[in-house]
């Protein structure tokens, strides 16, 4: 019996989205077209929202028809599966990928900014106990063009230029390293968002933080700490067993040394777990001498998790201890709370509804 291991014809269709202007020029020339069409293609992909080659009306009709009949490339855009606007103006999207997988993206407008919360994986393998995405399991990494598509979609639908990117959607960015770094390059050079306006959030993966430092990017690294001690951290983050807090902090120190950029430590406040004033003291001690900023995120209720959001008093008490120790601290007030709160929850609820 012969087993057909050849990829089917659909998998040979390659995305154009994610390619630089010189790569696009190379491609148009390989198709027998003049090189200036590379610049045109770049403009239609990244500024004009082309979804298929037929959309690109400056291209010769014959050439466009040829592709419509026998595509070897595609633009690589996803479809909007669901779009929800919350009362505070946050817009949530479920995007359907070519293989039918669903990923979540959020557009967050604030005065002059438009921030997109971008996903890097369908689901997440890290299984953090308080996280909706972690509860839902892992499906696959996103391709580079699937990451970039999220930014373009929010920009098009919200009709406003995206100014900031946070890699805080579904998934663990440093587990999809190549596509993350590739997508950052495109978001920066081809979409035109400054590196300093890009934040990558990670729970910490062994060896990946120093590796990321060596990219010498100007992006902000946010590290999900969530606890001041190994013991408490391991309670809520299963992967902390394999990557102890002490090793994570060493890698963070190395990151600051290599890049000269401060780290943003994220700390989800869970009532009775990590929100005691003594724990704020331990946290201040843990990050002493660090060029850093602490971002406190009061827990957003996730239906399957047994955690509680601390009271406003407990949050303020925690802040005061950190301020006493001169720690730069802010509390992230989650917007869009009434509509499925944190990233990953909309998709989770959508899946549950489908399963009913
Ligand atoms: N995998 C990345 C991105 C996760 S989302 C990381 O772990 O950093 C961004 C932040 O939101 C992380 O710090 C994550 O731990 C936190 N988070 C996830 N679920 C949450 C919830 N229900 N309430 C508050 N913060 C949450």
132, two tokens? 């909706």
CA-closest residue to ligand 1 atom 20: 131
Main-chain phi, psi angles of 91, to 5 degrees: -115, 130
**Partners of 146 in the β-ladder:** none
pLDDT in the model for residue 339: 41
CA distance 120 to 305: 23
Q: How many angstroms is it from 164 CA to the middle of ligand 1?
A: 18
Quick check: CB of 202 below 6 Å from ligand 1?
yes
Q: How many angstroms is it from 269 CA to the middle of ligand 1?
A: 11
Please list the ranges in the chain whose pLDDT falls under 70: 1-11, 334-356
> Kind of pairing, strands 102-110 and 113-117?
antiparallel
pLDDT in the model for residue 348: 64
Pair 209, 255: CB distance under 8 Å: yes
Q: How many angstroms is it from 289 CA to the middle of ligand 1?
A: 25
Q: How many CA atoms lie within 13 A of 249 on its CB side?
A: 17
Quick check: CB of 46 below 6 Å from ligand 1?
no
The atom of ligand 1 lying closest to the CA of 302 is 22
CA-closest residue to ligand 1 atom 6: 202
Class of residue 275 by CB neighbours under 10 A (exposed 0-12, middle 13-18, buried 19+): buried
pLDDT in the model for residue 122: 97
pLDDT single digits (tens) 317-336: 999 999 999 999 999 876 54
Quick check: CB of 180 below 6 Å from ligand 1?
no
312, two tokens? 């406003």
- How high does pLDDT run on average in the chain? 91
In the chain, the domains with their CATH numbers are 12-74 (1.10.150.530), 79-355 (3.20.20.70)
CA distance 273 to 174: 26
Pair 264, 233: CB distance under 8 Å: no
pLDDT in the model for residue 3: 43
pLDDT in the model for residue 345: 59
Which residues does the annotation mark as catalytic?
A: 104, 343
Distance of CA 331 to the CA centre of its chain: 20
Q: ∠ CA 179-31-68 to the nearest 5 degrees?
A: 80
pLDDT in the model for residue 71: 87
The atom of ligand 1 lying closest to the CA of 223 is 8
Quick check: CB of 201 below 6 Å from ligand 1?
yes
pLDDT in the model for residue 83: 97
pLDDT in the model for residue 354: 56
Distance of CA 35 to the CA centre of its chain: 34
Pair 120, 167: CB distance under 8 Å: yes
Quick check: CB of 128 below 6 Å from ligand 1?
yes
User: Helix, strand, or coil here: 337?
Assistant: coil
pLDDT in the model for residue 347: 66
């Amino acid at each position: 019996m012969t087993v057909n291991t050849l990829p089917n014809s659909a998998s040979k269709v390659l995305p154009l989205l994610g390619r630089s202007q010189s790569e696009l020029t190379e491609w148009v020339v390989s198709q027998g077209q003049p090189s200036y069409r590379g610049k045109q293609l770049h403009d239609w992909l990244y500024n004009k929202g082309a979804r298929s080659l037929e959309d690109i009306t400056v291209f010769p009709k014959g050439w466009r028809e040829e592709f419509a009949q026998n595509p070897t490339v595609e633009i690589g855009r996803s479809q909007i599966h669901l779009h929800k606007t919350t009362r505070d103006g946050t817009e949530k999207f479920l995007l359907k990928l070519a293989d039918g997988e669903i990923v979540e993206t959020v557009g967050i407008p604030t005065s002059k900014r438009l921030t997109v919360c971008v996903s890097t994986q369908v689901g997440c393998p890290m299984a953090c106990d308080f996280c909706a995405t972690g509860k839902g399991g892992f499906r696959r990494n996103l391709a580079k063009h699937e990451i970039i598509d999220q930014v373009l979609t929010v920009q098009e639908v919200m009709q406003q230029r995206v100014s900031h990117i946070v890699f805080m959607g579904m998934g663990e960015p440093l587990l999809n390293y190549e596509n993350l770094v590739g997508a950052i390059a495109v978001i920066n050079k081809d979409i035109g968002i400054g590196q300093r306006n890009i934040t990558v959030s990670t729970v910490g993966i062994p060896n990946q933080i120093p590796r990321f430092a060596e990219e010498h990017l100007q992006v902000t690294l946010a590290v999900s700490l969530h606890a001041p001690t190994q013991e408490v951290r391991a309670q809520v983050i299963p992967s902390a067993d394999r990557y102890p807090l002490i090793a994570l902090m060493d890698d963070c120190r190395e990151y600051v040394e290599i890049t000269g950029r401060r780290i943003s430590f994220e700390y989800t406040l869970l009532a009775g777990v990590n929100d005691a004033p003594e724990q704020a003291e331990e946290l201040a001690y843990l990050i002493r001498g660090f060029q850093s900023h602490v971002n406190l995120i009061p827990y957003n209720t996730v239906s399957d998790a047994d955690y509680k959001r601390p009271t406003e008093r407990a949050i303020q008490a925690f802040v005061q201890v950190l301020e006493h120790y001169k720690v730069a601290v802010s509390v992230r007030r989650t917007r869009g709370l009434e509509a499925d709160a944190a990233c990953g929850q909309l998709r989770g609820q959508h899946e549950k509804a489908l399963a009913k």
